[in-house]
Chain A
């Protein structure tokens, strides 16, 4: 490398004779000798790159003889292939356009097959007419600097790779979350029926909304035949959220289905569920409960009436919207939260649905939804009863649509899972279902 600072400053020497000797030595350092033995390479070429003059330092670096270089090789011939390409696409055009360039990083091929990283600066010498005559270049050994730069480059590439990896990890996490959401959605669908069966002489409609895609809902419902005349239905709410609640929901649903086929008497089905949940969870240190309305409906297409027998396990009462207007609660007293006591009391209540009557079962996601201008008050059971009375008579689909509209305008309450199930006897004798 050309490093001027390497030379001791002779004038700072303390001895007079020493200074003279050094100064004399400097004077004897002829221009020619300075050129040949300079600590950097010198190179002059014709405009087409043919090497016209080269100093000893550069020849030594290359390990070449002057006679095999001067007039025989072009500057690009000294370069690696990559360097040649760079020379043609950048170096030569730039030199033509600018007349000079500085600090271009290239690699020289040495005679022994090695490579010497160099930094090249070039200047075009122009004639009196302004015509380019030749190119002068200085060549600096850049091994150390290039090693350092390579290190920098390596670090930068590593940083870029790390960033790319982080980005890939982020995408992976996003994809995983998407897959998890898909899995949860599938699981959620297994907790409620995908559609309600069509029933002669009975219309049904449902609305179901889980709190969030990440949280499996704790509300459940079902409607299924127990024999050729009767249909069982239930709707409920397990305490808590998440996978544990979903496991409980699943257990509840299949226990009730099995129990109903065995004995469809509502209080018996709920007592069976109670026993199962109590046995399963009471001593687990993690007690789990649920509330549930369970009913059996027996439509009579001949009379157009349907007999409903209903029992509650700690669940809010069902509502009946009557064909002549008005709505009423169907009291199911004494039903205990399911899973608390080993032997819970349940009692069955009974009502008849006439043509145009509609039965509504709901979870507290409906009554706890916050309504009003400041979303400050919960809908509540009394307001729900008034709302139902205003809309009576209403077929199941109409009622669910009206309540869905109400929920759409409301702020979800603390328990934002909501399930609604409506069953009604249509005015005309045809089967009908609608999914929420």
Chain B
């Protein structure tokens, strides 16, 4: 299958400019980046995509085995990079995608030359000598919350939501459409995300890295941001004055500024 179609790939910005790949995390889709894309695309080629199973991706390409490990998502990234023949791109990953980016940069170092990790966490569940912020029971509760909210999701409507990425007005008629997806797929993504432990991968990072954390983040608390920063040699940590887990939505200007400054250092 055509990867660009499969992952609903969108490219904006001047051709030939340095490339920035924006990857969404668990929950919604590439629309998460809508407030930062215009500023980034002025002087950069911006690549947007949806992981298979999210947003406007081709749902039939979803496979439970593949997407039950973060490697499956990393393959989506490297396959998108290969399809566009990207070289030395900067990968901006939000939330779980930050760690997906670490994995992708390991398997395709020629394609990914820099990482921006937005609100990253290598492990959400507390461990001995490590505080991720959650217990295993908390994650079970999240899965229950997902169940409760997918009752209104109708598979009959999925083609309308998923199949018309070019006509967002169709999606807009459906409440909550940006985060709508097949509940079975969302459950797998949630489990894969919140049960992951990729702490060991952090020390393998060999590319320039910016860690962007929020000052008040219920999902990735500041001590996790400090941990990530400490584990990645030579990384830069910026704490945005933002509440919540999605600074690209709650503090888009500050987020853009931090990303652009990092991109400047890579020119």
Contact = CB atoms under 8 A, between A and B. Distances in A.
Instruction: Decide if A and B touch, CB cutoff 8 A.
Output: yes
Interface of A: 47-49, 74, 76, 80-90, 92-94, 96-98, 101-107, 146, 149-150, 152-153
Contacts of A83: 141, 145
Interface stretch (B4-12, B28-36, B225-233): B28-36
A105 B218 contact: no
B243 A82 contact: no
14 contacts: A76-B218, A80-B145, A82-B138, A82-B143, A85-B218, A88-B219, A92-B244, A92-B245, A92-B249, A93-B179, A94-B179, A97-B28, A97-B31, A105-B149
B13 interface: no
Contacts of A86: 142, 145-146, 149
Given A48-B243, A82-B138, A96-B246, A90 B149 contact: yes
A103 B175 contact: yes
A96 B145 contact: no
B142 A82 contact: yes
A94 B28 contact: yes
Nearest to A76: B218
Given A101-B176, A104-B149, A90 B27 contact: yes
A80 B250 contact: no
Given A47-B250, A98-B178, A85 B145 contact: yes
Contacts of A150: 148
Interface string B248-264: 01100000000000000
A92 B146 contact: no
B31 A153 contact: no
B134 interface: yes
B62 interface: no
Interface in B197-251: 216-219, 243-246, 249-250
A89 B178 contact: no
Contacts of B178: 93-94, 97-98
B28 A104 contact: no
B249 A93 contact: yes
B147 interface: yes
Contacts of B194: 85
Contact of A93 (B28, B139, B148, B151): B28
Contact of B175 (A76, A102, A149): A102
A101 B178 CA distance: 11
B134 A81 contact: yes
B77 to A, nearest CB: 20
A106 B144 CA distance: 10
Nearest to A100: B175
Interface in B161-208: 172, 175-176, 178-179, 194
B218 A82 contact: no
Contacts of B27: 88-90, 93
A182 B149 CA distance: 49
A153 B243 contact: no
Contact of B26 (A74, A89, A103): A89
A150 to B, nearest CB: 8
Contacts of B145: 80, 82-83, 85-86, 105-107
Nearest to B249: A96
B152 interface: yes
Given A81-B134, A96-B246, A153-B147, A88 B32 contact: no
Interface string B120-156: 0000000000000010001111111111110110000
B25 interface: yes
Contacts of B146: 86
A426 B245 CA distance: 89
A360 B28 CA distance: 77
Given A93-B32, A96-B250, A101-B176, A49 B244 contact: yes
B176 A102 contact: yes
A104 B243 CA distance: 21
A85 B137 CA distance: 13
A80 B34 contact: no
B179 to A, nearest CB: 5
Contact of A81 (B25, B142, B149): B142
B151 A153 contact: yes
A358 B88 CA distance: 79
Contacts of A87: 218
A408 B250 CA distance: 76
B250 A48 contact: yes
A101 B148 CA distance: 16
Given A81-B142, A82-B141, A88 B245 contact: yes
Contacts of B28: 89-90, 93-94, 97
Given A49-B243, A105-B148, A84 B179 contact: no
Given A81-B142, A85-B219, A88-B218, A94 B151 contact: no
